[in-house]
Amino acid sequence: MVVAVTAEPSEIVQVTREWLTLPRGAPDRWIRGAVLRQIQTLGPGRGTPAPGAVDAASITVSYRGSVLRAGKDYLVDPEWGSLGRPAGARVAGPGRVAVSYRYALRRLDSWVGCDRVPDRIVKGVSHLTTPQPPTIRDGQRRIANIFIDYFGKGADADIFPVSERPNQAGTRSTPGRLPATMAKLGEGRPVRVVCWGDSVTEGGDATSPEAAYPALLRRRLQLKFPQARLEVQVVAVGASNSRQWLYPNRFRHETRQDECDWLRVVRAQPDLVAIEFVNDAGLGTAAWDETYRDILGRFRAIGAEVVLITPHFTWPPLMGFQGWRSPECRPYVGFLFKFAEEHRLAVADASSRWAHLWKEGVPYITLLRNGINHPDDRGHAIFADELLKCFET
């Protein structure tokens, strides 16, 4: 059924004379350059820039009362809104300039129905990266959510019918594969779970440590096994992959290699290790096979059980996606399932739940707080949901 829906355009924000210091050299995404403060995802001046939020054509840069020339006096990364200073620029010294620009916000409206009352559109609250559908009253039903992306005109809004519930996701998380851990939990013996991984496991952009998935898992397990003597410990380093922990002489972390110490995991004396490395997705088939066989051997040598966590979805260009409804297609996810079946390992299948979000009426991009690869609190809850399924008999 084709339905015409009229939504209001996205909200546009004008920023006038924001002071920045232009570093020398070309900008590179969020990695290098001066980032426009108002498009930083954790608040002004905090976090990475929201990709696609800035109107690059609207950027004007002034220095000592004169408007500078784009490409000559300053350089712009149009996707990320980061700025740099080329050789020969008129900007001297530390390069302090005034920048004016405009940026857009995202919004999720809801198409709401109610008995004996005509359907209507309820407007959501705009947000830089993670808009949420508006709250609806008792007796109303949410027919669809309407996604207005950056600089959306309203008429081009993307409609996401609410066709299925979260419990219809059909994830492939595996109960019954943690016998030793389950026995200890049931008998009230001490159990130590180590969550080992990258920035997501470290907490990413969750609103607090208690909202990150390791803390959620601890609370939910304690409720499920009230007699358990349970500890959940985080051993993680942002931007790391598993090879940097296992083979530090071959693969080094750019800034935190000293923290990527395999002995940190061993010293924690885990009964169970939950492994989350979305950064492993780019390593390739040969690297996965070598690395994960080594990981499994090391954990079995210290008597620890393992649960593999399939990764969440990230910014579409990182995944080769064309939109918000693309199915999971990452070879890394396929490898994890194959490896788990070969060795009878537990899997917490977060990936399938993210792939299902559009059927729940939610474009998955609205769960990425930094717009790139860090889930918001709802995304962390998905990890905890799927991990908990591994603790069924």
Question: For residue 184, which phi and psi values (nearest 5 degrees)?
Answer: -65, -40
Query: What per-residue confidence (pLDDT) applies to 117?
Result: 67
291, 381: one domain: yes
Specify the pLDDT at position 63. Answer: 95
Look up residue 91 and give its two tokens.
């900007």
CATH (domain of 259)? 3.40.50.1110
Q: What is the pLDDT along the chain (393 residues), one digit of tens a residue?
A: 445 567 899 999 999 999 999 999 999 999 999 999 999 999 999 999 999 999 999 999 999 999 999 999 999 999 999 999 999 999 887 779 999 999 999 999 999 998 766 688 999 999 999 999 999 988 889 999 999 999 999 888 999 999 999 999 999 999 999 999 999 999 999 999 999 999 999 999 999 999 999 999 999 999 999 999 999 999 999 999 999 999 999 999 999 999 999 999 999 999 999 999 999 999 999 999 999 999 999 999 999 999 999 999 999 999 999 889 999 999 999 999 999 999 999 999 999 999 999 999 999 999 999 999 999 999 999 999 999 999 998
pTM: 0.95
Give the separation between CA 193 and CA 206, rounded to whole angstroms: 20
CA–chain centroid gap for 128, Å, is: 15
Specify burial of residue 49 (Cβ count, 10 A radius: 0-12, 13-18, 19+).
buried
Q: Are residues 136 and 114 part of one domain?
A: yes
Output the pLDDT for position 4: 58
| 206 and 279 part of one domain | yes
Residue 5 lies in a domain: no
Structural domain boundaries enclosing 148: 107-164
- The helix/strand/coil state of 350 is helix
- Give CA torsion, residues 229, 235, 241, 244, to 10 deg: -120
Residues 283 and 307 in one domain: yes
Looking at the structure of the chain, the number of domains it has is 3
CA–CA dist 10, 124 (Å, integer): 11
Nearest to 273 by CA among 298, 302, 294, 304: 304
Identify the DSSP state of 91: -
Yes or no: say if 284 and 242 are a contact pair by the CB < 8 Å rule.
no
My answer on whether 250 and 199 are in the same domain is yes
| Rg of the chain, C-alpha, whole Å | 23
In a domain, 92, yes or no: yes
